[in-house]
Chains A and B, each alone.
Chain A
């Protein structure tokens, strides 16, 4: 099962197993990691699961849909590595991916 590393808002790093087909958000919520709030449960509605994806990993996930891109653009601290983690579906190729969780997720 791919392991994903979350760099938490306080700088700590947590590495957890995330089953293929689940989202980076799911992995965080299931392990009760701080920083990803996920109010809408993964519906690309609330924008409270913002993460920064490492440059090397950007291509491992599907391109953002307009719905996601429009939310992300106006988030605090957004940059070109910003994604909503509910839209980042984990595949085998994602093993070892690192995401940074900002402290601004609502």
Chain B
């Protein structure tokens, strides 16, 4: 990711390691740095153990995994048996499809609608603008998790239960995205727009051809954060979808524990398969994901 980050969102982890001028008091500082590194590496290794252990277990046979942790760690014959079983069964493909469709559609709708609203709130002076703004500020405090019962009833009344729309629609109004877009648009120079307006461009054209192309970094960050958020959402799809074919990854994984019993290797393989697309996404878009998460301040 060679794109430079903005100063505000320039999370240090993302910034290239700056060369620090050698500080005075060399010896104690050097010892401190060594101690620092050792402690940090120990922490990091502890943090990696659960994932690595799950990976190791998923590559064992169910029989080995049932014997216990010692056997899982000691086993030297990795097998892909659990993965091939799961991928052959078809359930996981249904879950992938549901998660992918709902996440992708929600992301497109959220990014499009939130950026449009953010553009209006940032750039257009209209009657009722402050009222809209105030309502949005209130909405930012409403935790969607608390609304799961009334949303269930509304979807039921609209006969939308057990459809992808039941998972998509309630997740479209992510108010925080409007504010992130508005804040970004506030920082764009007005001259570009004015030039376009003199050339006779309407608002829609300015939004589409001037503002949006300049907003690629924030669009990317919002898109990824939304995608990851919808992919990982458990509580909404858990209650509004009961048809196994429409289950998303988290809901599907929630059924694994019960139905797989003691097939520990299979369970860990499904945990890893469920997370795999996100791991890939993370490895590709590390910086954007970290910026997006830090920028929106969203915490599970």
A and B: bona fide binding partners? no
Interface residues of A (CB under 8 A from B): none
